[in-house]
Amino acid sequence: MATEPKRSRELDDAIDGVLASYSGTLEIDNLESAALPNKRAVVEAFERLKHVLFMGFYSTRPLNKDNLREGLAEHLDAAYGALVDQIERALTYDHWMGRTSRVLPAGSAEDVVLSLLRAIPELRRVINADVRAAYEGDPAAKNVEEIVFSYPSLEAIVAYRVAHRLVLSGVPMIPRIIAEHAHSRTGVDIHPGAQIGERFFIDHGTGVVIGETSLIGNDVKLYQGVTLGALSVADRAKQGKRHPTLEDNVTIYAGATILGGETVIGEGSVIGGNVWLTKSVEAGSRVFGRAREPEDG
């Protein structure tokens, strides 16, 4: 009991010290954080959309043509309300912070979300092709159901496909929240600003990093630990394209690192495991270790 007053005083001193740190110039103070998007609400809305993309996999009750619309409406209504609110928060906050040169005007959230919902049939088509690419590209896959339920790389790709739609609409902050949610769950880090073609497959997936300005063609396959990264950029205002381009039908094996915005991996090339590349390679190249295999013929 005798130590209680001292403990109370020390606790008060600690609180006062923390309070004083909020009166300085730290950039992370953000006392207006109540106006920021709510991460949990964004993630919950994304999970609703994921259910809509795979209704037959995630539904907790039997579905048929008679009750499917009701099930879709349940998830889409909830996702719509949450996303409109959270996107509007992101837009309003960016305008309040003076970041108006790169975002939509406040009040645009409803149109953005309706555009996203109208794009769901196309998203389902593209994601179906991603699932098919995984099934055809991985001999360990027993069926497409296994891929949808258990492949972390597909979960990351689905999050990317949704988040990228929001990037194309000019939405700040929300796409990155969705992408980083998937990153934390899967170990696959795909920036929502990257441009990725159809029938994309990441085998195993853990440790894959795809940077913001990466450009990936159709029918590309990456293995675990692949990095599509940037070379050091000194001036943020002059960044431009910082990450590499992979043309159609490229395969990158585990642990390879490909860097730089001017680096292009030509169509049909195969890059071996643990290769480090900062220069372009022509179409049909085979690069393993430090040696490039001769082309057939």
- Rounded Cα distance between 227 and 278, Å, is 12
Structure tokens at 53: 């993309």
Pick the CATH number of 35-188 from 1.10.3130.10, 1.10.1040.10, 1.10.10.350, 1.20.1050.10: 1.10.3130.10
- Domains 35-188 and 194-297 in one fold: no
Mean pLDDT of 52-69: 83
Q: Say if residue 3's pLDDT is above 60.
A: no
Q: Say if residue 180's pLDDT is above 70.
A: yes
Is-contact 229 209, C-beta < 8 A?
Answer: yes
Mean pLDDT of 30-50: 85
- Rounded Cα distance between 291 and 293, Å, is 6
Give the neighbor-by-neighbor strand order of the sheet with 245-246: 195-196, 215-216, 245-246, 264-265
Give the neighbor-by-neighbor strand order of the sheet with 257-259: 189-190, 209-210, 227-229, 257-259, 276-277
Q: Is 228 helix (H, G, I), strand (E, B) or coil?
A: strand
Give the neighbor-by-neighbor strand order of the sheet with 286-288: 201-203, 221-223, 251-252, 270-271, 286-288, 291-293
Q: Is the dihedral of CA 155, 188, 165, 217 positive or negative?
A: negative
Is-contact 58 72, C-beta < 8 A?
Answer: no
Provide the residue count of the chain. Answer: 297
Q: Say if residue 4's pLDDT is above 70.
A: no
Q: At what angle do helices 109-118 and 68-96 cross, to 10 degrees?
A: 140
User: What is the number of helices (H) and of strands (E) in the chain?
Assistant: 9, 15
Residue type, 285: S
Mean pLDDT value across the chain:
88
Q: Say if residue 201's pLDDT is above 70.
A: yes
Is-contact 71 55, C-beta < 8 A?
Answer: yes
Q: Residue 36's pLDDT is what? A: 86
- Rounded Cα distance between 192 and 58, Å, is 24
Q: Residue 292's pLDDT is what? A: 45
Per-residue pLDDT tens digits for 278-297: 999 999 999 998 544 444 43
> For residue 130, with 0-12 CB atoms within 10 Å meaning exposed, 13-18 middle and 19 or more buried, which class applies?
buried
DSSP state of 281: B
Query: How open is the CA angle 52-142-183, to the nearest 5 degrees?
Result: 50
Give the contacts of 236 (CB within 8 A, at least 6 positions apart).
none
Find, among 228, 242, 230, the residue nearest to 196 by Cα.
228
Q: Say if residue 139's pLDDT is above 80.
A: yes
Q: Residue 216's pLDDT is what? A: 98
Q: Residue 294's pLDDT is what? A: 44
Q: Residue 58's pLDDT is what? A: 79
- Rounded Cα distance between 284 and 265, Å, is 9
DSSP state of 178: H
- Rank 5-19, 200-214, 276-290 by mean pLDDT and report only the highest: 200-214
Q: Say if residue 168's pLDDT is above 60.
A: yes
* CATH, domain range 194-297: 2.160.10.10
Residue type, 105: P
Q: Name the residue ranges covered by the structural domains of the chain.
A: 35-188, 194-297
Q: The whole model's pTM is what?
A: 0.86
